[in-house]
Structure formats: C-alpha cells, structure tokens
Amino acid sequence: MINLLERKIALRYLFTKKKDGFINIITTFSFLGITLGVAVLIVVMSVMNGFRTELINKINGFNPHLKVFADQADQIDLRKLSNKAIQKISDDFFLSNSGEAVIIHNSYTKGIILRGYLKDDFKKLKVINNENFFGNKSISYNHISIGKELSFILNVDVGDKINIISPSSVMSIAGSLPKQKSFIVESIFESEMNEFNQNIAFLNLNDLEEFFDYKKKHRYLEIFLKDPKNIEEKKQIFQNVFEDRLVNSWADLNQSLFSALKVERNVMFIILSLIILIAAFNIISGLTILVKNKTRDIAILKSIGVQNRSITKIFFLVGFSIGTISTFAGIIIGIIFSINIESIRILISSIFNVSLFPEEIYFLSKMPSEIEPLSIFIISLFSIIITCLVSIHPAMKASKLDTVKSLKYE
C-alpha cells in the first residue's frame, strides 16, 4: 500500500517547480501523447464498430438471418417449425430457391443470381418495403424484380423486357441449346448495397423452379428472427430441431467479409497503439531526469529512514499518475468525438470545402459510430499497463542511489 507521505511527495514531484521546466515539457508531451493515442483509438474503433453494425443491418435487410438447406432425398419438414423454442425466437419463415443465370439486354451480357419467392412472401421482404422501392410489390408469373444499379446498367425501366439464359438446356432440331426466356421488369429495388443491386434479381418461386428444372422438394427455408443478436446460439437451436439438415447463419454466408473486417480492425488497433507506446516511453525519459534532479531529495529521505521500497513507490506513482490521468482524459475526449463524429465531419467538410465520407460511395447518409464499452476498457487497460511497465525501471533506479555519494557531490 502507498502511505500518505509517499502520496504527498509523488504529488509534489508530479507538479514540479519552474526551475524544472524541461521535466515539465517532457511530462506534458507524455500526457498529450497518451491522451491523443487513447482518444484516436476510441474514435477509430467506434467508427469501425459503426460501419460493422451498418453493414450487418444492410445484409440482414436483404438476406435471411438463418437458412435451412434441403437435400436431394426429400423436402424440409415444415411441421418442425411448430417447435416451441423455434416459435419463441422466430419472426417469419419463407420458402425459397435460387440459381445462377445470364441476363441479356441489347448488347449487354451479365451473370446474375436469381432468387425465387412465393407472391405473398415476396411482399414481406424488407428490401421491398423500403421507401426506395419502385413498382408493384408483388412478383407475378413471367415477371422479374431487379436492382437499381442493374436497371441503370441495362437502361431498362418497369414494363421493359429482358432475356435470361439458364445453364440448363433444351433439346431442339439444332441439338441441345441453353434455355432462354423473356421476363417483364415488374419492379426495381434499392438495397443500399451496390453488390446486391447489380447481381441479384427476384422471380416468382414457381417461375424459377420451372426455369431451372428444380423440384419443389429442393426448396430451402429462410428464417427471419425477432432479434438477430447471438446468432450462433439461435442457429444451434434450429440445428438441433432440423438435425439432418445444414443450417447456415448470415455470419456463415458472409464469413470472408467479416473476417477481413476483423483483421482490418485488429491491424488498426495495433498501429494506433504505437502512439500510446511512444508517448509512454517519454515517461522513462521524464522520470530518469526527475530522479537525477531529485538526487539530493532522495539522499535526504534515505538519511531520515525512508526505505528503498518507499522511494520506488514514490517515483512509480509519478509515472502511474501521468498514465492514468492522460488515459482518462483520452477516454473523455474520445467519447465526445465519437458521439459528435457526424457534426465534426460536416464542419471539416464545410471549412475545407471537401467531401468527406461521400454518400454515393459508402451508401450511408452519415458517418456511423458505435461506442463499445468493452473496447474502451481494453484500450484503457492497455494504456495504464504500458505506463506502469515503463515507470518501473526509473523508479527502481531511484531507490538504488548511493546516499553518501549523492550528498558528497551535491
């Protein structure tokens, strides 16, 4: 434990006199460096958390939370959906299927993924019920719903015809030819994700099965949950019920994307942590100079019976105080900036007349930010541990000073 005398002396050394100006400068740089490092880390982690949450929301707005796949033998037993555990966490269930095809319009050719839904199920999809949807909120036979980006690329509008070529073939006089069919554009959707808008289109499920020669028993089951959080636990509930089927979550189907985001987040944390590390090493310089300047004080303290352990604690407390105060200052600044990040973005954009975070590129109306308490705790703990470690050596060096020699050369 640190006693009252040790605390008072440490506090006195922390706020040194004007004659020790150089020490004050080093202390100030250490304080500002750690504060800046902690604040920047919190802001960057909050923005990346916000991006991740927005991305998850957009993916879940277009895709099911869970998907139960059929096998070649028999169809999914829908009676299992009456299970109480499933009913408790589920919001809705859709039967669907999908296939890859080639879309042709005028001279343009593009590969595309076709998804099939029954008419009543199609109306319930989130992407169909947002304000940017244009056209009939149904999916009729021989009709198709395409994304906004794809409609621009093809230069088509609602009511126009487009041709789709299936990988499956039909026999003709000329031999085996790819199956081709014309569809009328019934609606245009906007998912706010360019990849979905360009590469996915919707058909009536019966239309899709006929086009790809699928059987009804090969339909898979899409599940939308009341709350998509803790997805792995809820996936396991469905896996236990549909034990003979493959159950995938939205996280499984987008694993590579979120793995890349996780790696990027970790790399950013490591790089920005170097700011704190460099600033913390200034504490070593500051404490070393402080020990040298306070040689006479240390000798006097030892001569009146203060133990080496107390000397160590005094100088360690100086370094620890700098690290702790600057860390908490960084936390406050980081949280304030994270909460007001959108206002700061607008201010910087207006002052320098530049477009920061353009909506047409990121498909977000504002810069997202999500403060995560665990991230703040980890950053704070890292900062304080680093400052503690770098304070140990100069503190121990202070306790090992020779009292007689110190007084002799003063």
Is the residue at 224 inside a domain? Answer: yes
pLDDT tens for 347-361 read 888 888 877 776 666
Is the residue at 10 inside a domain? Answer: yes
Same domain (yes/no): 187, 212: yes
Q: Are 38 and 276 in contact (CB under 8 A)?
A: yes
Mean pLDDT for all residues in the chain: 83
Least confident of 132-141, 171-180, 217-226, 275-284: 171-180
Is the residue at 250 inside a domain? Answer: no
Q: Are 224 and 63 in contact (CB under 8 A)?
A: no
Same domain (yes/no): 99, 225: yes
Torsion over CA: 40, 41, 46, 48 (sign): positive
Same domain (yes/no): 29, 166: no
pLDDT tens for 154-208 read 889 999 999 998 877 665 555 567 788 899 999 999 887 788 888 999 999 999 9
Same domain (yes/no): 138, 51: no
Same domain (yes/no): 387, 273: yes
pLDDT attached to residue 119:
87
Query: In the numeric block, which tokens belong to residue 319?
Result: 């370094």
Query: In the numeric block, which tokens belong to residue 241?
Result: 């019920």
Query: What is the C-alpha separation between 87 and 81, in angstroms, rounded?
Result: 7
Same domain (yes/no): 86, 209: yes
Tell me which DSSP letter residue 374 carries.
H
pLDDT attached to residue 381:
92
Same domain (yes/no): 381, 263: yes
pLDDT tens for 377-407 read 999 999 999 988 888 888 888 777 765 555 5
Is the residue at 63 inside a domain? Answer: no
Same domain (yes/no): 52, 83: no
Least confident of 75-79, 219-223, 234-238, 288-292: 288-292
Q: Which domain holds residue 101?
A: 70-245
pLDDT, average across residues 116-133: 87
Domain C-terminal end among 182, 211, 245: 245
Name the nearest CA neighbour of 55 among 259, 257, 197: 257
Name the nearest CA neighbour of 54 among 367, 343, 361: 367
User: In the chain, how many domains are there?
Assistant: 2
Domain C-terminal end among 245, 273, 292: 245
Is the residue at 231 inside a domain? Answer: yes
Same domain (yes/no): 76, 221: yes
Q: How many CB atoms lie within 10 A of CB 92?
A: 13
Same domain (yes/no): 83, 220: yes
Domain C-terminal end among 184, 216, 245: 245
